[in-house]
Amino acid sequence: MTPGTRLVTWLLSTITVVVLLFGYHTSTAGALLSATSVVEAPQAGADTGTAGSDNGSSGGGSGSGSGSAGSGGASTASGTVTGPTVQTRWGPIQVEISVDGGAITDVGVPVYPADNPRDVEINSYALPILVQETLDQQSADIDMISGATVTSVGYVQSLQAALDEAGL
């Protein structure tokens, strides 16, 4: 091979690799398309640009399952109660509960981290589980989701505040 042929072969190989690299579609593309149907979309105007903020991450386990969440059994509260927006390491999260006759009938998550594909992937998996656990346990005494610990802690903190406000 002549030096010119080597150069042309190298150049074409490099271009081919770059084209293939940028043309590769990752396996998360399918999860991104269906993720918005699993969890409610974040509120318009929600401050999701604070993903680097550590404001809400310092109180790690302070809101996780106090055991007293179900102690107000005589409560006949009805309506919708929205917990505070908890700033986590990866972005804000907020829980909204519907209460009827002192029981949690529905749980929504109007604000959650969704700034990048990984956040969407994690939350499309974790939030439905957290919601179902809340409905099953009727309290904030729920299990954390492995791989979504930060989201789980923020969720439980907002949920506990909503439960306290509802008198449950």
Indicate whether 29 belongs to any domain: no
Q: What is the CATH number of the domain that holds 49?
A: 3.90.1010
Q: Which residues are CB-contacts of 50 (< 8 A; sequence separation ≥ 6)?
A: 87, 91, 92
Indicate whether 86 belongs to any domain: yes
Indicate whether 66 belongs to any domain: yes
Instruction: Please say whether the beta carbons of 84 and 158 come within 8 A.
Output: yes
Indicate whether 33 belongs to any domain: no
State the helix-helix crossing angle for 117-137 and 29-38, rounded to 10 degrees.
Answer: 40
Per-residue pLDDT of the chain (168 residues; tens, 9 = 90+): 787 888 888 888 888 888 887 776 554 433 333 333 334 444 444 443 333 333 333 333 333 333 333 334 445 568 888 899 998 888 899 999 988 888 888 999 998 888 888 888 888 888 999 999 989 888 888 888 888 888 889 999 999 998 888 888
